[in-house]
């Protein structure tokens, strides 16, 4: 494999690197910021670690050169390779949201949960996350910064909704917004944006607030982890909002109609897939299939359904709390 393939120069020492998730192009982007203190944002899966190492080497980043490894959240398609990349680049600090740090240091629980979800597909899609040295992990909270050298920095913004441990990052020099999965999944072949609403953490209210935050940031460019850089910021943000609302409303409608998740998946599929353009012939079909596994109708519907379950449970608990109107009526 030519290590220079799958690298896109984006200007101002920023490079998008295709990590070839599951061996296919066009699924997961890492981003190398080749400054005085080189930083990589997102590392992809454990199975992609050698690809990322070799492609960073082709850009002049050797084992002792990388200063920082940043992941937007700890899902395996973004952070599964952190432990491996950290061993390959022993001087690099690891930056993650504080709610995800313990899973990087000890991924056993995370991997056990993932295997229950993915079964035998886990090894093909992701591989096994290796533990990272806890002493090398630095956490950020609601805000935080990553020093890129020469006054340039990444500013972290807590952006839950997709996951409780999600942060987005803004490059102070370029205005690039590294959005992780908080904006959803961008298809470079069609220009479509599809929401990413997986169980168990998806929260509609938090996701909307994160999108509002992104609008306030005034980014120059959107850096999707799936997949690639997008310069049409305002229109893409608006499309992401529209799609998020559309999917939630379709799941609500299906839930009210059938009450059964399996049937709801089929109903939502019929309703939402017509919103998206067909793939052109040159698009790799295998990559599209993997992307559909990561952010397809089944996973998105399940995540929204799970959120609605939580919402109903919270409402029932509130109605039954002492002093609530329903509680007083039962006591009367």
User: Residue 327: inside a domain, yes or no?
Assistant: no
- Residue 29 token pair: 């982007």
Cα–Cα distance measured from residue 271 to residue 250, given in angstroms and rounded to the nearest whole number: 7
* pLDDT category of residue 330 using cuts at 50, 70 and 90: very low
Count how many domains the chain has.
1
For the segment 115-144, what is each residue's pLDDT rounded down to a tens digit? 988 888 899 899 999 999 999 999 999 999
Q: What percent of the chain has pLDDT over 70?
A: 95
User: Residue 123: inside a domain, yes or no?
Assistant: yes
* pLDDT category of residue 324 using cuts at 50, 70 and 90: low
Cα–Cα distance measured from residue 58 to residue 85, given in angstroms and rounded to the nearest whole number: 16
Q: What is the mean pLDDT of residues 150-163?
A: 98
**pLDDT at residue 116, as a whole number:** 87
For the segment 226-245, what is each residue's pLDDT rounded down to a tens digit? 999 999 999 999 999 999 99
Cα–Cα distance measured from residue 301 to residue 249, given in angstroms and rounded to the nearest whole number: 11
User: Residue 190: inside a domain, yes or no?
Assistant: yes
Element (H, E) at 331: helix 325-331
User: Residue 2: inside a domain, yes or no?
Assistant: no
* pLDDT category of residue 326 using cuts at 50, 70 and 90: low
Residue 90's nearest CA partner among 52, 64, 69 is: 64
Q: By CB neighbour count within 10 A (0-12 exposed, 13-18 middle, 19+ buried), where does 192 fall? A: middle
pLDDT above 80: residue 322: no
Cα–Cα distance measured from residue 35 to residue 213, given in angstroms and rounded to the nearest whole number: 27
Cα–Cα distance measured from residue 142 to residue 264, given in angstroms and rounded to the nearest whole number: 35
93-97 vs 68-70, strand pairing mode: parallel
User: Residue 331: inside a domain, yes or no?
Assistant: no
**pLDDT at residue 291, as a whole number:** 81
pLDDT above 70: residue 325: no
pLDDT above 90: residue 290: no
> Domain residues for 176?
7-316
* Count of C-beta atoms within a 10 Å radius of residue 199: 16
Residue 136 is given by DSSP the state G
Q: What percent of the chain has pLDDT over 90?
A: 83
Measured between alpha carbons, how far is residue 124 from residues 24, 47, 93 in Å? 11, 8, 28
pLDDT above 80: residue 69: yes
Cα–Cα distance measured from residue 100 to residue 78, given in angstroms and rounded to the nearest whole number: 12
For the segment 182-225, what is each residue's pLDDT rounded down to a tens digit? 999 999 989 999 999 999 899 999 999 999 999 999 999 999 99
pLDDT above 70: residue 2: no
For the segment 78-100, what is each residue's pLDDT rounded down to a tens digit? 999 999 999 999 999 999 999 99
CATH number for the domain harbouring residue 174: 3.60.15.10
Of 43-47, 102-106, 202-206, 258-262, least confident by mean pLDDT is: 258-262
Q: What is the pTM of this model?
A: 0.93
Mean of pLDDT over the chain:
93
Secondary structure (3-state) at 201: coil
**pLDDT at residue 283, as a whole number:** 81
User: Residue 160: inside a domain, yes or no?
Assistant: yes
User: Residue 200: inside a domain, yes or no?
Assistant: yes
Residue 149: half-sphere exposure toward Cβ, Cα within 13 Å: 11
* pLDDT category of residue 177 using cuts at 50, 70 and 90: very high
* pLDDT category of residue 318 using cuts at 50, 70 and 90: confident
User: Residue 236: inside a domain, yes or no?
Assistant: yes
């Amino acid at each position: 494999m030519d290590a220079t393939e799958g690298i896109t120069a984006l200007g101002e020492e920023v490079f998008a690197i295709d990590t070839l998730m599951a061996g296919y192009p066009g699924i997961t982007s890492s981003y190398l910021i080749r400054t005085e203190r080189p930083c990589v944002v997102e590392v992809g899966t454990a199975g992609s670690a050698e690809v990322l190492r070799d492609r960073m080497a082709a850009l002049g980043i050797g084992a002792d050169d990388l200063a920082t490894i940043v992941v937007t959240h700890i899902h395996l398609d973004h952070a599964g390779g952190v432990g491996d990349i950290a061993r390959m680049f022993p001087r690099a600090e690891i930056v993650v949201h504080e709610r995800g740090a313990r899973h990087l240091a000890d991924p056993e629980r995370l991997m056990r949960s993932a295997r229950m979800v993915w079964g035998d597909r886990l090894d093909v899609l992701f591989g096994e996350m290796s533990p990272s040295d806890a002493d090398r992990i630095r956490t950020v909270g609601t805000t935080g910064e990553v020093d890129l050298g020469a006054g340039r920095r990444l500013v972290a913004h807590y952006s839950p909704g997709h996951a409780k441990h999600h942060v987005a990052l803004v490059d102070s020099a370029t205005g690039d917004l590294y959005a992780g999965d908080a904006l959803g999944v961008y298809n470079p072949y069609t220009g479509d944006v599809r929401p990413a609403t997986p169980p168990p953490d998806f929260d509609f209210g938090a996701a909307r607030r994160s999108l509002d935050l992104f609008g306030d940031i005034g980014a120059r460019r959107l850096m999707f982890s799936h997949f690639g850089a997008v310069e049409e910021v305002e229109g893409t943000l608006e499309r992401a909002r529209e799609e998020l609302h559309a999917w939630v409303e379709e799941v609500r409608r299906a839930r009210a109609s059938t009450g059964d998740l399996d049937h709801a998946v089929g109903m939502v599929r019929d309703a939402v897939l017509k919103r998206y353009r067909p793939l052109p012939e040159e698009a790799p079909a295998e990559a599209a299939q993997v992307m559909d596994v990561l952010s397809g109708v089944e996973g998105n519907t399940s995540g929204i359904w799970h959120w609605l379950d939580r919402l109903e449970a919270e409402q029932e608990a509130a109605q039954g709390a002492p002093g609530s109107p329903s509680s007083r009526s039962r006591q009367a």
